[in-house]
Structure 1
């Protein structure tokens, strides 16, 4: 009966199928296979699901063109084909630590510390480069961005007295129209409670901020502070503090659940964000250690046990893009949203946790330093959480009946319930690594390299598998990509991890496929090592590899124009004009100069045969 339907209606019916079911029908029924091959909308449906992509329904581009662009993007990443390269000179004197790349926007601070500068990175070689500046009028400590969902810039500022979060519309630089309060008060400031490290993440209406206070004379004062706001209403839903070096970064699992990697206990804590404040969820001012019923995470996922002489100093984590609230309209007025055809579904993105491990005792200079990176997928963590909680978690953020009841499941540890979720000492369910992590994590380790931290976006990351850090690899953890790449001998299925710093062997079986990107040394003559590029680092977006370089003494520029790597639409004379303008500017400026080098990965059809795919350092 199904095949008697008109083809157009049948195609719409098939759109309701998930990818595995659709592919089974493609393999076993010739008529259905013909339908699938004939309708671009079905092919696009398959392509988006296999790439874990969310489509932008407001895009005016035809489905056939979107399908072609998506195929080119996926092929480009699979083969590391660079569509084009451009070098951009920053039009401001950059600061030290503020560099953000998300949703096609690169943002950095300046030397003054009161201004933020950002640029929409082009998707085509002929796209213009336009830097914009937002005057914050106070020293900026850290920023959080929600470009596509809210057109939101959240800037943590500090003056002599207070820490505050300014809520601005990125496209205008003015107070965000959806924020009832333009500024969120965080805490008073003094010499005794200054933040040394801050993290900000946004999902839906929730904004989570972590501020760490370290290195005080009285170590009892060293605490990490966690704040959970509804940024639209200005309401502080929950705040608490924990011992120093406990929390450093935030990963949203859903707009209501956050994953906080715990360096102190070496676990992954999953916290609930309250849906609202109430009299029963008052916000006490006493430190957590002095409260009768401090807040607690719902679940703690244990990581492999460390040997006694080793300690994890910090766990830096990242996952892009963040989840969005389905009830929240996207920021359709932004150029970034209008130009975005698709992005990785937040649920399926890769989470990376970079862990700095040191051995004790002994002087710091003699301590062995290692960088271990754990890879896992957001969907797998959510599945483990659902299994642990027995499905008691509801979409509005509350457990059933407002109570936490530990599942009767000895496989995942034990705990007892008690009282309201946010005001009572709820028993955290602790889950052994062997019960949750063996099949869904992957571990890679190396001796610590001070200029390298793994960067990621979507299902991919860039990682230096070679110990000399001169070769970079794109690692893709998309299971469909891994399955297709089995015959190419580029798949690593995981195995047993042994040796320091771990107390005993363990397994991490999450598979990935990799592609080599040569990372060549800087060419040219230099007067000394101190004149070479300093503080080079790499950022990654879903379509961009962005290399940021600093130079202590920068006297000239050398641009490598590789015809094989350039888009045909970019006329050589335009490149000559650009180089001439930049060279003229540099001749008049001997101060510290910073450049951004970004590379757009697209399809190989825009490249001539035999082109280099190397990501080269430029003088």
Structure 2
């Protein structure tokens, strides 16, 4: 082959190889495009409902429980999944009833759910599972009594403290324990179960001599921290907290609260001879370090309450305000403060009236430690209701009038964000007027409602408030859970709708007797205070029946109706016949109210997660004779 032909052949072969290379490249590109198109098509076809049940359940458990309920109402597949999943039902009902799960408990989810449903149904119907009467061993004058962490305590004037573990089972044995406590005790009984902590406060008088004045008496105040389980000094407390009062006290009184590592103490004089300043202290109870000191004119402070572990609410009776204070977290911050960072104003009083005292209470206290493994769930402190009792009197002291109002802790916590323009760190903040913050989140009552005293701060726990009649009468339980109110309203609408349908049928067939029966079951108006409603209340997407694997509720087919009142009136005016307030006070926090079937003659009523506890006396409030326990689970 000639060189020319050889060169032409090589050129032609090179072109063919380049063509083959380009052809292979196109094939690879086409295959890649085909693969991408197929993958994209598959991704488009995959939806949330195509996910495995376990994955979908896991996703739903990370949504707010209200969103889970909504999901169940918009899709049939999700509705079946949610209604048949014990885990999702338990999660929803924890939110509905304002509870939180205890991860330390080893009960299966189905048993936790059943226990929750059984207990809440009993509370809704006030159908206790057992009652028990316990005799008090010694009928003598007592100074104080309280229920805390399942233990009832009586502090006697003699300085003896008697305590009893309140039974959670009908056949549980009870035993009184006697504790000889330190002299000069001025407060006892703050019991924090999750921290195995009990707090006692003493104030020992000391005579002080000076060169320029006559001898006077100050007090050495000590905060004693002991273990609940052993009674010995708490191992986490590095020292006993101790300080001396700045001024002369006639009879010191102390209020104490604890949350996390922070302990708050308010100290004031119970006699008005010397009128020393009210003093508030914040400590780290483990190290004994003082974090904050507040001084205010006599009669300003008496009670305080933690909103978070570092923020607390301090009612100021002198100014008629609710003050927000912050405990310093940085050691470099000042330990003395002369102003709160945020203030809510109470309704202004009419001329000549003053706030005499302001009490407040909320239970349970803020949880900050390990929970007992035997309890599957606990009350969510974030949504607990706070009762605030205000005592008003004219400047001449001629009469005293009491009012109470209720607010969720969560509402108080949201106020600084809602009214951030009123927050101040440089000077005393301008108070937020009541009409701005209060009517939508409060519910006010006069001192008594239909013969029930409404200022019993021991009767509050979670979102419930219980009160006994003034004399023998039924017990009443208020429930400020907004979802509980919704359940009642839903049941009411369903009942009315069914009654109307049945009424139309009866009219068509001329059965007048049936109409009469329907009217009787339909309930009666309560002049703006609600209606009787069905016991079988529910919210769409939420099952209220216990699972078949667990214990069942004893139902009462012969009594299908609950005489429960629901109050949802917006801007409800407070009954103020003595014109204590300058203007009409409005409030609109909704609630339900349930009365017990039986009547009781209790002097005091205490409430906790499991039970109501009433006290009977020997004719005198100070002479405690019996404890009457109504247990709900």
Task: Confirm or deny a common fold (TM above 0.5).
Answer: yes
Q: Please say if residues 193 and 228 of structure 2, whose CA atoms lie closer than 8 Å, have aligned partners that are also in contact.
A: no
2:68 match: secondary structure: helix
Aligned pairs (5 A) from 1:26-65:
26-65=72-111
Q: Please say if residues 613 and 627 of structure 2, whose CA atoms lie closer than 8 Å, have aligned partners that are also in contact.
A: yes
Aligned twin of 1:516: 595
Deviations 1:493-529 (A, max 9, x none): 241235421111132111101101367466xxxxxxx
Residue among 115, 118, 130 paired with 1:69: 115
1:517 match: secondary structure: strand
Aligned twin of 2:161: 116
Q: Please say if residues 319 and 456 of structure 1, whose CA atoms lie closer than 8 Å, have aligned partners that are also in contact.
A: yes
Aligned pairs (5 A) from 1:84-163:
84-92=130-138, 96-113=142-159, 115-161=160-206, 162-163=220-221
The two structures have a TM-score, normalised by structure 2, of: 0.73
1:31 match: secondary structure: helix
**1:311 and 1:517, CA in 2 relative to 1: closer, same or farther beyond 3 A?**
farther
Aligned pairs (5 A) from 1:167-566:
167-181=225-239, 183-188=240-245, 192-218=248-274, 221-278=275-332, 281-283=334-336, 295-325=338-368, 329-330=369-370, 337-361=372-396, 364=397, 367-389=398-420, 407=421, 412=422, 417-418=425-426, 426-446=427-447, 453-454=456-457, 455-463=459-467, 470-486=473-489, 487=492, 488=533, 490-494=565-569, 495-497=572-574, 499=576, 500-517=579-596, 520=599, 536-552=603-619
Q: Following the alignment from structure 2 to structure 1, what is the Cα–Cα distance between the partners of residues 110 and 286? A: 38
Deviations 1:343-389 (A, max 9, x none): 2111100000011222343xx5xx33322111000001111122233
1:174 deviates by 0.5
Range moving further from structure 2, 250-259 or 491-500: 491-500
Aligned twin of 2:526: none
**1:189 and 1:266, CA in 2 relative to 1: closer, same or farther beyond 3 A?**
closer
1:281 match: secondary structure: coil
**1:519 and 1:164, CA in 2 relative to 1: closer, same or farther beyond 3 A?**
farther
**1:25 and 1:120, CA in 2 relative to 1: closer, same or farther beyond 3 A?**
same
**1:429 and 1:551, CA in 2 relative to 1: closer, same or farther beyond 3 A?**
same
Q: Please say if residues 163 and 188 of structure 1, whose CA atoms lie closer than 8 Å, have aligned partners that are also in contact.
A: yes
1:431 deviates by 0.6
Aligned pairs (5 A) from 1:3-18:
3-18=49-64
Please say which structure displays the higher CA radius of gyration: 2
Q: Please say if residues 498 and 504 of structure 1, whose CA atoms lie closer than 8 Å, have aligned partners that are also in contact.
A: no
1:55 deviates by 1.3
Deviations 1:14-65 (A, max 9, x none): 1111122111111111111111122111110011011110111111222111
**1:301 and 1:546, CA in 2 relative to 1: closer, same or farther beyond 3 A?**
same
**Structure 2, unpaired ranges of 5+:** 1-46, 207-219, 493-532, 534-563
Q: Please say if residues 237 and 287 of structure 2, whose CA atoms lie closer than 8 Å, have aligned partners that are also in contact.
A: yes
Deviations 1:552-582 (A, max 9, x none): 599xxxxxxxxxxxxxxxxxxxxxxxxxxxx
Deviations 1:44-98 (A, max 9, x none): 0011011110111111222111111111111111111121111112345665232
Q: Following the alignment from structure 2 to structure 1, what is the Cα–Cα distance between the partners of residues 246 and 617? A: 32
Q: How many residues align?
A: 495
Aligned twin of 2:224: 166
2:419 match: secondary structure: helix
Q: Following the alignment from structure 2 to structure 1, what is the Cα–Cα distance between the partners of residues 335 and 303? A: 25
Deviations 1:160-184 (A, max 9, x none): 4422110001111001111111x11
Q: Please say if residues 472 and 599 of structure 2, whose CA atoms lie closer than 8 Å, have aligned partners that are also in contact.
A: no
Deviations 1:147-201 (A, max 9, x none): 23311111001334422110001111001111111x11032598x3144432111
**1:592 and 1:217, CA in 2 relative to 1: closer, same or farther beyond 3 A?**
closer
1:309 deviates by 2.6
Q: Please say if residues 223 and 241 of structure 1, whose CA atoms lie closer than 8 Å, have aligned partners that are also in contact.
A: yes
Range moving further from structure 2, 73-82 or 469-478: 469-478
**1:467 and 1:449, CA in 2 relative to 1: closer, same or farther beyond 3 A?**
closer
Aligned twin of 1:562: none
Q: Following the alignment from structure 1 to structure 2, what is the Cα–Cα distance between the partners of residues 519 and 125? A: 19
Aligned twin of 1:582: none
Q: Following the alignment from structure 2 to structure 1, what is the Cα–Cα distance between the partners of residues 298 and 594? A: 39
Q: Following the alignment from structure 1 to structure 2, what is the Cα–Cα distance between the partners of residues 84 and 47? A: 24
Give the superposed CA RMSD.
Answer: 2.7
**1:133 and 1:21, CA in 2 relative to 1: closer, same or farther beyond 3 A?**
same
**1:517 and 1:39, CA in 2 relative to 1: closer, same or farther beyond 3 A?**
same
Q: Please say if residues 228 and 237 of structure 1, whose CA atoms lie closer than 8 Å, have aligned partners that are also in contact.
A: yes
Residue among 569, 584, 599 paired with 2:630: 599
1:102 deviates by 2.4
**Structure 1, unpaired ranges of 5+:** 284-293, 390-406, 419-425, 523-532, 555-590, 603-619
**1:551 and 1:484, CA in 2 relative to 1: closer, same or farther beyond 3 A?**
same
1:45 match: secondary structure: helix
Q: Following the alignment from structure 1 to structure 2, what is the Cα–Cα distance between the partners of residues 94 and 174? A: 27
Q: Following the alignment from structure 2 to structure 1, what is the Cα–Cα distance between the partners of residues 400 and 358? A: 14
Q: Following the alignment from structure 1 to structure 2, what is the Cα–Cα distance between the partners of residues 387 and 259? A: 17
**1:216 and 1:497, CA in 2 relative to 1: closer, same or farther beyond 3 A?**
closer
